[in-house]
Amino acid sequence: MKKIISILSASFMLGTILPTNVFATMNQDVAQPDEQFEVKEGSYKPDEILVKFKNDEYRISNTAEVHSLLGGTQVQQLGNGKSEWQLVKVPKGKAKDFKEKYANDPSVESAELNLIYTVDYTPNDPSLSQQWHHQTINSYGAWDTIKGSSKKIAIIDTGVQLNHPDLQNSLLPGKSFVAGVTSANDDHGHGTHCAGISAAIGDNGIGISGIDATAKIIPVKVLNKQGSGYTSDIINGVIWATDNGADVLSMSLGGGSYQQSFQDAINYAWNKNKIIVAAAGNSSTSAYSYPAAYNNVVAVAATNETDGTAYFSNYGTWVDIAAPGTNIYSTYTGSSYKNLNGTSMATPIVSAVLALTWGKNTAYTNQQVVNRVLSTADQTPDTGTDYLNGRVNVYNAVQ
């Protein structure tokens, strides 16, 4: 008997939940940046700090003496000498250490990091605000660096609505492996939802934006209109996608147990320099789920709006990374949009982050891209127990 694989979205839809406390009240005091925000690696110049000396008895007329003692070098007096602040060069990668070192010197009034500012790019898609996950994984910051890639994401699923207005211009020719179905058009809805999460067209004035808003989508239909399919069909889909230009293979499906035939298909794709991503499962268990648990697959758990593990998500140190998976708003069949829940929704988020990261670092191998995304994930309270490497952060990954 052929083994059946089922889709991993939760069977219910919840109303949209937007993040709270987005806007500060006008009459509140504004906190200083270091008091309110954690300054993360990549958000400041790693070899420079800003220093202001005191104007009282500690003032030293020749500040070069202080720099010589502490190990920094004055680069310039800011504002063409009209500012009291100096730009100071320090050893590369030691900006935080030297900021503290200077701040503790009695002749220094204040020392700060040389923070990086960028243009604040926001796509014009009208329903962007309903996609809370963009804020959590910092898509907005990433888009200031790279708005999208030319990478190709294969959505190996129920197909994709081929004429959805927010997807159709990004679709490449796909294929169906479901018996009796000749088109990769979606007759269920799940695959269309996953495709939009990854690569709905950004800045087109329609609907939403995918994380990689210029990536191409390859629809590969391996699941029928009931949302299930056979191992043989999925293996055919994986190999076909590999041979037809896909860079990232996204599989929001799972079930069954280990099969060497399926592992061999995964290995075929991996050895062709492809990245394979799969959902960890929605059974709230630490038991392995396949294909997520195969070698050479990035296994994805789901988190909620407060960065906790979603109640339905499978978990364990066999899971590589987590991503938002509750109340995810995306494209749906009938040219519509809908909220869905599941590790199915978290998976295309990670797939798109991998694609966007690869677009920024085009010389990387598949292993280097995976390492980059895993190593730059945000650490949450559940990191190391429910999933190994943290919750994905696309801004960190593309820096």
Q: How many domains does the chain have?
A: 2
Are 248 and 155 in a shared domain? yes
Query: Which candidate in 9, 67, 107, 157 is catalytic?
Result: 157
User: Is a pLDDT exceeding 70 seen at residue 235?
Assistant: yes
Q: How far is CA 172 from CA 187, 242, 298, 384, in A?
A: 18, 14, 24, 38
- Residues 15, 12: Cα–Cα separation, whole Å: 10
Q: Answer left, alpha or beta for residue 205, where phi above 0 means left and psi between -120 and 50 means alpha.
A: left
Are 309 and 332 in a shared domain? yes
What CATH code is carried by the domain that includes residue 77? 3.30.70.80
- β partners of residue 85: 52
Say what the pLDDT of residue 122 is. 65
Going by C-beta distance under 8 Å and a sequence separation of 6 or more, which residues neighbour residue 149? Answer: 212, 214, 215, 355, 356, 358, 359, 360
Q: What is the rounded average pLDDT for all residues in the chain?
A: 87
Confidence of residue 1 (pLDDT cuts 50, 70, 90): very low
Longest Cα separation, the chain: 87
Give 11-50 pLDDT, tens digit per residue: 322 232 233 332 222 223 333 334 344 566 667 888 999 9
CA trace torsion 140, 361, 115, 45 (10° rounding): 180
User: Is a pLDDT exceeding 70 seen at residue 319?
Assistant: yes
Examine the residue annotation and report whether 166 is marked as an active-site residue of this protein: no
- β partners of residue 383: 387
- Residues 125, 218: Cα–Cα separation, whole Å: 22
Report the 10 Å Cβ neighbour count for 55. 9
Cα Rg for the chain, rounded, in angstroms? 24
Are 106 and 131 in a shared domain? no
Are 136 and 111 in a shared domain? no
- Of 297 and 63, the structure prediction assigns the larger pLDDT to 297
Specify if 85 maps to a domain. yes
Say what the pLDDT of residue 9 is. 42
Range of the domain at 393: 121-398
- Residues 155, 169: Cα–Cα separation, whole Å: 16
User: In angstroms, how far is CA 161 from the centroid of its own chain?
Assistant: 24
- β partners of residue 218: 154
Are 128 and 162 in a shared domain? yes
Examine the residue annotation and report whether 382 is marked as an active-site residue of this protein: no
Examine the residue annotation and report whether 190 is marked as an active-site residue of this protein: yes
Q: Answer left, alpha or beta for residue 270, where phi above 0 means left and psi between -120 and 50 means alpha.
A: alpha
What CATH code is carried by the domain that includes residue 159? 3.40.50.200
User: Is a pLDDT exceeding 50 seen at residue 4?
Assistant: no
Say what the pLDDT of residue 136 is. 96
Are 337 and 376 in a shared domain? yes
Give 117-154 pLDDT, tens digit per residue: 644 456 787 898 899 999 999 999 999 999 999 999 99
Give 82-99 pLDDT, tens digit per residue: 778 899 999 988 999 999
User: Is a pLDDT exceeding 90 seen at residue 274?
Assistant: yes
Q: To 10 degrees, what angle do helices 260-271 and 231-243 make?
A: 10
User: In angstroms, how far is CA 392 from the centroid of its own chain?
Assistant: 5
Percent of the chain with pLDDT over 90: 74
Are 66 and 148 in a shared domain? no
Say what the pLDDT of residue 117 is. 60
Give 342-374 pLDDT, tens digit per residue: 999 999 999 999 999 999 999 999 999 999 999
Q: How far is CA 222 from CA 6, 175, 190, 210, 366, in A?
A: 10, 9, 12, 23, 24
Query: Which candidate in 67, 134, 188, 190 is catalytic?
Result: 190
Are 134 and 267 in a shared domain? yes
Please name which of 63, 215, 102, 92 lies closest in space to residue 148, comparing C-alpha atoms: 215
Percent of the chain with pLDDT over 70: 85
End residue of a domain, out of 63, 85, 115 = 115
Query: Which candidate in 344, 351, 378, 382 is catalytic?
Result: 344
End residue of a domain, out of 80, 95, 115 = 115
Specify if 15 maps to a domain. no
- Of 10 and 180, the structure prediction assigns the larger pLDDT to 180
Specify if 101 maps to a domain. yes
